[in-house]
């Protein structure tokens, strides 16, 4: 049997999905597109205005547990910025983006979001940013 090219060879099946040792561009095609930070932010804003926002089942609960007002989390979606590069969630084969915002009271928070479809945003969880000023 002919050996598979190195970049498509399965290297880990530990968490139910096979992921491949390959470059970023190949991964981007596999999981429906890795957006630049600016494009991701534009898509987020478009979803808020004309698309659909989904909230993970535990989103509001996590906000309360972490001392974040859910309304501040809403404002973070509307006004926050993406500073970091997205991270790949291997299990669900999607890129996750971190939207950061500081409330008027000075509380720095981050929301983790994904884009399951072109006009849809999934708000997964909210975090307090430690050490933020």
Interacting residues with other proteins (CB under 8 A): 16, 47-60, 63, 69-75, 77-79, 91-92, 104-105, 116, 120, 122-124
Residue 85 has a CB neighbour count (10 Å cut-off) of 12
Residue (25 or 57) nearer to other proteins, CB: 57
Residue (8 or 12) nearer to other proteins, CB: 12
Q: Give backbone dihedrals phi and psi of 104, rounded to 5 degrees, phi first.
A: -55, -30
Residue 14: CB minimum distance to other proteins, A: 15
The span from the CA of 13 to the CA of 1, in Å, is 21
Residue (40 or 124) nearer to other proteins, CB: 124
Residue 9: CB minimum distance to other proteins, A: 25
Residue 29: CB minimum distance to other proteins, A: 20
Q: How is residue 8 annotated by DSSP? A: G
Residue (8 or 93) nearer to other proteins, CB: 93
The span from the CA of 56 to the CA of 36, in Å, is 23
Please say whether the beta carbons of 20 and 7 come within 8 A: yes
Residue 40: CB minimum distance to other proteins, A: 17
Q: Where are the alpha helices (DSSP H) in the chain?
A: 24-30, 37-50, 59-65, 70-79
Using DSSP's 3-state secondary structure scheme, residue 108 falls into: strand
């Amino acid at each position: 049997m002919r050996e598979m090219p190195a970049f498509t060879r399965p290297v880990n099946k530990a968490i139910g999905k096979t992921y491949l040792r390959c470059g970023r561009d190949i991964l981007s095609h596999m999981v429906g597109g890795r957006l630049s930070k600016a494009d991701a932010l534009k898509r987020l804003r478009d979803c808020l205005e004309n698309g659909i926002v989904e909230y993970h089942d535990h989103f509001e609960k996590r906000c309360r547990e972490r001392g974040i007002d859910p309304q501040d989390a809403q404002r973070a979606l509307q006004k926050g910025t993406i500073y970091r590069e997205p991270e790949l969630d291997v299990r669900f084969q999607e890129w996750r983006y971190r939207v950061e915002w500081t409330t008027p009271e000075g509380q720095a928070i981050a929301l983790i979001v994904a884009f399951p479809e072109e006009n849809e945003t999934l708000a997964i969880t909210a975090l307090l940013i430690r050490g933020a000023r």
